[in-house]
A and B are shown apart, each in its own frame.
Chain A
C-alpha cells in the first residue's frame, strides 16, 4: 500500500476529533472503526488511480479558529444552518418547523441534545463504518456535519439550506458527516452547499446519509466548490424504505482532485431514486465519480444521469453502476453517462457497469464521450456568436438540463456563474 493511503495511527488524532461529553456508543464506534482501519482496503474507483493523493494526510494537532470570516456571514444569509469547520456561524429554523418536531443542528449539538435519535441512524442503515478504509477513517474521526430530522407526515415546502465551509485558514481536519432522516410520509427539500475558506492544503471528507422511511420524499441537491489545494472524498448515500423516493441533483464543481461515491440503496418495495450529477474538470484536475443504484427490492426503480465537461489536461471518469439483486423482480434501472471534451489533451470516460442478478427487470444504459457538435456550433455562430461564446453556450446547455432541479435561485445562479467561470478559464488555457 502506498504511503499516502496509510493513516498515521497516532492516538492524538482520535482524541482531537472527539466531541465534548461524547456518549459512550459514539466513542465505541470510533474505537471499533479505528481498530479496523489498517485491515480495510481503500475503495475502488474503476479507471481512477487516486492512491497518491494526500487524502489521509490529516493533522494530528489540528487547530480551531473560532472567528467567522465576513464572506461566511454574508453567504450564510440564505441558509438555515451555516458552519465553518466545527464552528456554527448561523442556525435559524422557524418556530413553526420546530413545533412540528423538525430538528436541525450541527452534528456535535445533535449528539449532545438528541443522542438517542442520532444513535438510531448514524452508521446504522445507509453507511456502515467498516465498508472500506476511508469510511472507517471518517467514522473514527468524525468531527462535524449536520443533523436534520423531519418527523413522520411533516411536509416542508421551502428547502432546508445547509452551508458547510471547510476551514483551511489553518491546518485542520474536515471530517464532515451529515445525517438526514425523512420520517414516514414526510416530504421536503434539502440543499447542501460546500466550499473552502483559506489557502492551506487540507483534505476534505464529506459524507451524507439520507434515511428515507416508508413513503417519504426527499429532494436533495448539492453544490460543491472546494478549493484547488483540497483533495476531496465525498460519499453521499441514500437508504430508501418502502415507497420512499429520493431525487438527487449534484453539481460537482470542485477545483481540486475529487473522488465521489454517490449511492442509493433501494431496500423497500416500490422505492425510487433519480440521481443526477454534473461536473466540470479543468487544468490538471482529476475527478472520479461513481454513482450506484442497488435494487434490493421488488418494483424499485433507480435512474442515473451523469454529465461532465473536460477542459485543459484534466481527467473525468463517470462510472454508473446499476446493481440488481436477486429477488428484485419488476425493478427498473436506467442510466446515461455522457462527457463532452472541449480540449484535445483531456481524458474523459463514461462507464456503465450493470450487475444484474434477476431476470424480470428493465435495465439499460447509454454512454458517450464526445466532442462538441459541429452543426450546433455552426448554427450558433451563424447568428454572430464567436466560437468561444458558442462553445460555452453549448457546454452550458449540456450541463444546464439539471439546473431547474436546484431549488434555490441564488445557488442556481452561483452554479451558472461557476460553469461560466470554469469554461472561460479553461478556454484561456488552450
Chain B
C-alpha cells in the first residue's frame, strides 16, 4: 500500500502583470491510500485544479507552507517528471497539443521512462497493451497514430488522458474534470477505463462538478472544497446532498466567508 498525503498546504500563484502573488490554497489536508477512490467537489475558482497541479509539480504554483508526501517522502523538491516516475499521474483539465509526435510514440517513451535504459518495452508488448486499451475506450487504432492531442475534440482529449493512464499505470491518478464535455456514452466508456485500473495498488482522486460521474465510479470519500480549503468530507451521500442544496447551503451551514461566483443560482441546481 502507498500513501499520498497533503498537509496544511498553502499555495500562491504569481500574477505576472500586477507583479503580486495571490494565495489560492489556504491549508489543505488530505490523505489517500492506494486501493481508495476519492472525489473532490467545489465551486469554480476554488482551487481544485491548483491542488492537483501542485501535487503534480507544476512550476507555476508556489508552495508557501505545508507539505505533499508520498509514503512519507516529501515531493516538494522533486520536479514534475520525477514525481511522475515516482507514480503520480494527472489527467489534465486542458491537455497540451503537440504536433509532429504521434500519440503512440509518446506513450512508449512514457512507459520506457520508468524502465531501466537497457530494458525498454518491446514494440510487440507495447502494441498489444495499446490495442487492448484502445478497445476498452472505444478508440479507433488511428487515434494512436495521430499527433498528440492535435485536433482532438474535447471528448477525444479526455479519452486520450485515460488511455495514457491505462498505459502508464501509475500508483495515484488525479483526474481533473475528466467528465466535463463528455456525453453520456463517453462518460460510461471513460468510467469503464478507470474501473479497469481498480486494484489495491492504485488510488484515484477525481475532481468533478457533477454527481453523475460518481454513479459510475463510486468514491469511498467525497471532499468539498471551498475558499481554498477542504471544508467537509463524507461518503457518497455528501455528493447527493450537495446536488440538492448547492454550495451556498454548505457555506451558510459552516458560516464560511467565501464568495461564490454564481451566488444567485437557486438551491437545487447544485453548482451546475
Footprint of B on A, CB under 8 Å?
A: 373, 375-376, 378-387, 389-390, 393-394, 396-401
Contact = CB atoms under 8 A, between A and B. Distances in A.
Interface in B103-149: 106-107, 109-110, 113-114, 147-148
A281 to B, nearest CB: 19
B109 to A, nearest CB: 6
A387 B148 CA distance: 18
Given A389-B109, A397-B147, A383 B168 contact: yes
Contacts of B110: 383-385
Contacts, number: 73
**Majority SS of interface residues in chain A?**
helix
B58 A378 contact: yes
25 contacts: A375-B96, A376-B98, A378-B58, A378-B80, A379-B95, A381-B80, A381-B84, A382-B57, A382-B84, A382-B92, A383-B84, A383-B113, A383-B168, A384-B81, A384-B85, A384-B114, A385-B110, A385-B113, A386-B113, A387-B81, A393-B106, A397-B99, A397-B100, A397-B147, A401-B100
A384 B57 CA distance: 12
B79 interface: yes
Given A376-B96, A381-B79, A396 B113 contact: no
Contacts of A378: 58-59, 80, 96
A387 B83 CA distance: 13
Contacts of B58: 378
B101 interface: yes
B156 to A, nearest CB: 16
B98 A394 contact: yes
Nearest to B96: A379
B164 interface: yes
A389 B100 contact: no
**Most chain A beta carbons < 10 A, residue from B81, B84, B109, B168:** B81
A384 B101 contact: no
B98 A382 contact: no
Given A382-B90, A383-B110, A384-B114, A397 B80 contact: no
**Majority SS of interface residues in chain B?**
mixed
Contact of B100 (A384, A386, A390, A399): A399
Contacts of B57: 382
Interface of B: 56-59, 79-81, 84-85, 89-90, 92, 95-96, 98-101, 106-107, 109-110, 113-114, 147-148, 164, 168
Nearest to B164: A383
A384 B169 CA distance: 12
A378 B56 CA distance: 10
B152 to A, nearest CB: 13
A83 B90 CA distance: 54
A356 to B, nearest CB: 30
A87 to B, nearest CB: 39
Contacts of A381: 79-81, 84
Contacts of A387: 79, 81
A396 B81 contact: no
Contacts of B92: 379, 382
B53 to A, nearest CB: 9
A86 to B, nearest CB: 39
A397 B101 CA distance: 5
Contacts of A382: 56-57, 80-81, 84, 89-90, 92
Contacts of A384: 81, 84-85, 110, 113-114, 168
Nearest to B83: A382
Nearest to A399: B100
Contacts of A383: 84, 89, 106-107, 110, 113, 164, 168
- The 5 A-B pairs with the shortest beta carbon distances in the complex, nearest first, are A397-B100, A384-B113, A400-B100, A384-B84, A379-B96
Contacts of B81: 381-382, 384-387, 390
